[in-house]
Structure formats: C-alpha cells, structure tokens
Amino acid sequence: MLSLSKRVHEVWLVTLMAGFMSKNESKLKLYDMSDIIFRHFTWIENDLIKSKIDYDYDRDMIPVKVEKLSIILNDINLRLSTIELELIKLDDRDLAERVNSDIKYMRFLLSSLPEESVTAFNTQRKLDNIELNEEATDALTLFLFEESYKEYELIMIYNYLKANSTDAFLNRIFNILIDESFFHLKSFGDMMAKMGILGVPRVIHKELYKVTNVVEFLKDGINEELLAKEECKKLADAVSNDSQELAKFFDFINYQENYHIALMKEALEYYTKEKNV
C-alpha cells in the first residue's frame, strides 16, 4: 500500500502540472482529474492509517518538461494503468472499486483531449499582454517559484495533520487552509506556465509535516503568513507601474492571508486550551 500511495501522489502532481501547461477545456478537465486523484490519495492515506502502517510523502522526481501535451498525457495514462494493477493491495475493496472506476473514465478522457503545443518551459517570462520591466519580472519570477513550493508544502502539511487528527474543530481549519492553498497553487502554477517557467515543487522533508510540537508549528505558521503578506505587498508595489491588474491580484492574495492568520490563531488558542499547554 505504501507503493500505491506514492504512485497516486506522483500522478496527482503530474496531472496538476499538465493542467497548468494546457489550455481552455483541456485545462479544466485536467484540473478536475487532479482534484479527483488527490481525493484518492487522501482515501488511500486513511486506509494506511487504519491499518497502522507508518507512511510518509516521499516520492520520485517527476519529469514534466515536454513540447507536446500528448507526451505528458501518455505519461499520465501509463501511471494510471500502473495504479490499476496495484489496487489489489488495498484492504478496502469498496475504495479499490471506486478508484478503479474513476481511473477507467479518466483514461478515456485523456484519449479525447486535443493535441497542444506546450510553451510552459520556454523561459520567455512574459505574462499574457502585460509588459513588466526587468526588476518587476525578476521579482515576480522569484515570488512564483518560492510561493508555489510553499503552497504545495502547506497542502501536504495540513493534509497530514488532518489525516492524523480526530479533532473536528482543528480539522475544519486544516481543511479551509488546504482549500486556500490549492487556489493559490493553481493561480501561481498557471502564471508560471504562461511565463514559461513552470517547475515541479521539490520533495518535502518528513520533518515538516510529521509535526511533534503543534503549538510551535502554529506559531511558526503565523509568522510565515505574516512574511508572505509582506512579499505580496512588495510584489504588488513592484508591478503596479506596469500592471494595475497584476498589482490588484497580489493585493487580493495579501488580504486572503489575513484570514489564514486568523484561522491559525484560532487553532492555536483552541489547542493550547484543550491540551493545557
């Protein structure tokens, strides 16, 4: 089951990357597929927990640099076919049948998607029709690389905490933060693809999500969100002369961080009272 979990993790990321690099209807279908596969991942994770199997989020490197969308679609199809064969390892047969059924439909959809040329790796660093000066372009590039990894990291950390908690109050907050990080990751990944600088987030060290001190984790998380707000504000200022639309977007992300901080403070207060720490 550990191998199965790892393979599902990898195909989820590959499908998400394919969504970033594709266009129009294909993008929407691939995003939907990636969302479904992530749910599969969490359900298989729950099966591991019920079976008392120690697990982590380690995975292999994922090569996604292609010039034609069909190449990565074929890769996804092969990965899904491998998972189909591994489903026999699942103890939960109802879950295995559900995942198998979803995979059969997704493999059919993959075969129906049109061919596209991929420009997500051309390194042109141009965003739609927005003309940014070199300083603003450098600032945006650095921000997108750092923040796309951070959002992937947060998805996995909060998912691990939620999966290993039975506390409904905390899990409600973790679930909101996961959803918010998914929105940010998709926004940043889409921008990276348009700029020709798309990259797969690096593997997360297990020390980051196997949290032993929740209080310190939440305090550090609040500080990180405060720093993220500052970075969003700096970036909004850097691009404001060239693009009010882009500046407004990063102001929008900045203001969203306020609620994330409020949620984490709420979780911190609740946890310290419940655990008397």
Give the single-character DSSP code of 212.
S
Distances (CA, A) of 209 to 14, 40, 53, 184, 204: 21, 19, 16, 19, 8
Does pLDDT of 222 surpass 60? yes
Give the phi and the psi of residue 115 in degrees, each rounded to 5.
-70, 145
DSSP category for residue 254: H
Q: Which CATH number fits domain 120-277: 1.10.10.410, 1.20.1260.10, 2.170.190.11, 2.130.10.10?
A: 1.20.1260.10
Lowest-confidence segment of 155-159, 163-167, 243-247 by average pLDDT = 243-247
Q: Would you kindly state where each structural domain of the chain is located, as residue ranges?
A: 1-118, 120-277
User: Cα separation of 13 and 26, whole Å?
Assistant: 16
Q: 37: which 2 tokens? A: 């596969």
User: Angle of helix 24-50 relative to helix 2-21, nearest 10 degrees?
Assistant: 160
Residue 196 phi/psi, 5° resolution? 75, 25
This prediction has a pTM of: 0.93
Which CATH number does 1-118 carry?
Answer: 1.20.1260
pLDDT at 142 over 70: yes
Strand-pair partners of 117: 68
Q: Rounded to whole angstroms, how far apart are CA atoms 216 and 118?
A: 43
Q: How high is the pLDDT of residue 152?
A: 97
pLDDT value at residue 185: 96
**pLDDT of res. 37:** 98
**Two domains, one topology: 1-118 and 120-277:** yes
At position 237, the amino acid (one-letter code) is: D
The CA distances from residue 19 to 44, 100, 101, 113, 205, in Å, are 23, 22, 21, 12, 25
- Which two structure tokens, joined as six digits, stand for 176? 């909101």
Structure tokens at 269: 């207060």
Give the integer Cα–Cα distance in Å for 171 and 164.
Answer: 10
**What's residue 150's pLDDT?**
93
Q: How confident is the model at residue 276 (pLDDT cuts 50, 70, 90)?
A: low
Closest CA to 59 of 104, 12, 126: 12
- pLDDT tens digit string along 96-116? 999 999 999 999 999 999 999
Is the pLDDT assigned to residue 277 strictly greater than 60? no
Judge contact between 132 and 242, C-beta under 8 A.
yes
CB 232 within 8 A of CB 257: yes
DSSP letter for each residue of 109-132: HHHHSPP-B--TTS----BTTB--
State what percent of residues in the chain have pLDDT above 70: 99
